[in-house]
Chain A
């Protein structure tokens, strides 16, 4: 029971890290997704490189580079912001690819029609292309949010007091090796299941009109 209450009290930190990193990633992913469609080959290549790096380095290594590497050399920062920035940047890499998939699903004719109507490129993207692309991208975004919830457990290694951090501490101090981790696993599943249900529901809801 003690374990359970301690772990429960750490849930807000896990949620904070998860949602803050997701929000940060969702914004940074926009220019990355745009860069992948740039007119200039150099920009396309560079953004592809950045996205590959963000997705290719293990999250825990990336967070370590930010916290221990950049943190000891350049700027000192607390574990929490380092965790959010680290997971946020990784999210940006993944979400950029999800956005790109959404953009690719919008029919070419929509771009041509917008151009023919003389819409500015801002209007084209915010009123015509964006909404259609997002509809395709949303289920993928929720799936990423679920992965991120689980990945957020790695920031315990730099000392953010989220679920996994409290769990390991409890396991060490009580000498119990199994129970705390079972509780932690159950809490993660309890947090992730509604999101998974949301993802399935959205997929069904948003897929009308795209049935082949």
Chain B
């Protein structure tokens, strides 16, 4: 009973934290996915220098833990004269990580479009730009969509690392309640449940979506 009244008391603060988590996640995706799209095209560019530079950027972005990226943007950029608050730093760092990962996801999607589709479009006399726009991107994106959605859920989880920058998101709210009440287990568990409320149904959604998209193959 006491647990429940505690939870009810903490809930508003935790929910405001969750709202911050969701905001940085959505903004990181909005910034990261378009960049990922551009990187996906550049990594299959005909120019070898562009191609290799892009591949290196993507591999560095994927190989670096998100925590390193966050700290580097927040503590490192001021040295270059760019001072960001924790919210902007989180959005930028997670956006960069997102762009590196999603470029690979989108590239795989584009590559999965059957060669025959492109040949047929070519045979019909479509211009290269039109082939990319009307044949390649719509189909490739559709193939990539479930994986992209799965990645979006992952980024929400990763956003919890922003507490190291002092961003008042869900985990840092929970931790500071824990520090003042000493009921770490209760409040951290509630925070975990709040993450689950989004990530688990999100996972089911992705699963269903995958099944729906591959129905015509069965």
Known contacts: A53-B196, A151-B65. The answer to whether A58 contacts B171 by CB under 8 A is yes
Q: Enumerate chain A residues within 8 angstroms of B79, measured Cβ to Cβ.
A: 176-178
Selected interface stretch from B31-39, B46-54, B129-137, B182-190: B182-190
Q: Mark A58-79, 1 if CB is under 8 A from B, else 0.
A: 1111101100111111100000
Decide yes or no whether B71 CB sits under 8 A from chain A: yes
Q: Enumerate chain A residues within 8 angstroms of B185, measured Cβ to Cβ.
A: 65, 68-70, 72-74
Selected interface stretch from A98-106, A125-133, A180-188: A180-188
Q: Mark A39-56, 1 if CB is under 8 A from B, else 0.
A: 000000000000011011
Q: In the complex, which range does the number of interface residues on chain A fall in?
A: 35 or more
- Which residues of A, 143-173, contact B by the 8 Å Cβ criterion? 150-151, 153-154, 156-157, 164, 167-168, 171
A34→B188 CA distance, assembly (Å): 30
Contact A164 B67 (CB under 8 A): yes
Separation in Å of the B208 CB from the closest CB of chain A? 14
Contact A56 B195 (CB under 8 A): yes
Q: Which residue of B lies closest to A49 (CB)?
A: B200
Q: Which residue of B lies closest to A73 (CB)?
A: B185
For the A-B complex, the count of residue pairs with Cβ-Cβ distances under 8 Å equals: 128
Decide yes or no whether B60 CB sits under 8 A from chain A: yes
Selected interface stretch from B2-10, B115-123, B154-162, B209-217: B154-162
Separation in Å of the B193 CB from the closest CB of chain A? 9
A184→B71 CA distance, assembly (Å): 11
Contact A189 B199 (CB under 8 A): no
Contact B171 A64 (CB under 8 A): yes
Contact A188 B63 (CB under 8 A): yes
- Which residues of B, 109-161, contact A by the 8 Å Cβ criterion? 156-161
Residues of A within 8 A of B (CB): 52-53, 55-62, 64-65, 68-74, 150-151, 153-154, 156-157, 164, 167-168, 171, 176-178, 181-182, 184-185, 188-189, 192-193, 196
Of the A-B pairs whose beta carbons lie under 8 Å apart in the complex, a sample of 20, sorted by A's number, is A52-B203, A55-B199, A55-B203, A57-B195, A59-B157, A65-B192, A68-B184, A69-B184, A69-B186, A69-B188, A74-B185, A150-B64, A150-B65, A151-B65, A178-B77, A181-B71, A182-B76, A185-B64, A185-B65, A189-B60
